[in-house]
């Protein structure tokens, strides 16, 4: 593995201002689309995925009727080896936050990663995800990335 940071100097974008939803008016609005991804921390940098524009609000599609969620994310650099970890974070976050009836698809945005197909396959393979979550180091890392989302 590489010793240094993969993308040592990422471009940081401003956080999108949270839409403050009126709790009464939107209380029953399903699904809660955005708030839960925005604060996931990047595995490499002390910034959230939103600040690095890895995930944007538009990249999350939710179909409540058919219980389906699709997330498309954009790694910061093409050869980013963290892409799988980011994808795993997204999946774990969704697994823990969504009711079990949802099917979750996580994809790398087309053309933004060198091994796009491989990453996509890995992320949407139940067995592999389960195996990855058996690995304590990975779980620890994922948990650390997710911690700020619960703050």
Give the C-alpha separation, 4 to 19, whole Å.
37
Of the candidates 40, 60, 90, 146, which one interacts with another protein according to CB under 8 A? Answer: 146
Of the candidates 36, 71, 83, 106, which one interacts with another protein according to CB under 8 A? Answer: 36
How is 12-62 classified by DSSP, letter by letter?
Answer: --PPPPPP---TTTTTTPSP--SHHHHTPBPSSSSSBTTTTTSS-GGGEEE
| SS3 of residue 142 by DSSP | helix
Of the candidates 9, 11, 111, 137, which one interacts with another protein according to CB under 8 A? Answer: 137
**Is 46 a residue that touches another protein (CB under 8 A)?**
yes
Which residue shows structure tokens 């401003």? 14
Residue span 51-90 as binding mask against another protein, x where in contact by CB under 8 A, dash where not: ----------------------------------x-----
**Is 139 a residue that touches another protein (CB under 8 A)?**
yes
How is 90-125 classified by DSSP, letter by letter?
Answer: HHHHHHHHS-TT-EEEEEEPTTS-TTHHHHHHHHT-
- CA 36, distance to chain mean position in Å, is 9
Of the candidates 11, 20, 27, 130, which one interacts with another protein according to CB under 8 A? Answer: 27
**Is 148 a residue that touches another protein (CB under 8 A)?**
yes
Of the candidates 77, 109, 114, 141, which one interacts with another protein according to CB under 8 A? Answer: 141
| Residue ranges binding another protein (CB under 8 A) | 1, 5, 21, 23, 26-29, 32, 35-36, 41, 43-46, 85, 96-101, 135-141, 143-144, 146-148, 150
């Amino acid at each position: 593995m590489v010793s240094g940071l993969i993308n040592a100097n990422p471009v940081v974008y401003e956080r999108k201002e949270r839409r403050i939803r009126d709790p009464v008016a939107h209380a029953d609005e399903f699904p809660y689309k955005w708030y839960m991804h925005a604060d996931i921390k990047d595995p490499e940098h002390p910034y959230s995925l939103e600040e690095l524009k890895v995930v944007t609000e538009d990249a999350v599609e939710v179909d409540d009727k058919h219980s389906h969620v699709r997330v498309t994310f954009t790694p910061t650099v093409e050869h980013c080896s963290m892409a799988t970890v980011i994808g795993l974070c997204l999946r774990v976050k969704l697994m823990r936050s969504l009711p079990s009836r949802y099917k979750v698809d996580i994809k790398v945005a087309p053309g933004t990663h060198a091994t796009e197909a491989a990453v996509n396959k890995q992320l949407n393979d139940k067995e592999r995800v389960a195996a990855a979550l058996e690995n304590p180091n990975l779980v620890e890392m994922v948990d650390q990335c997710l911690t700020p989302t619960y703050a």
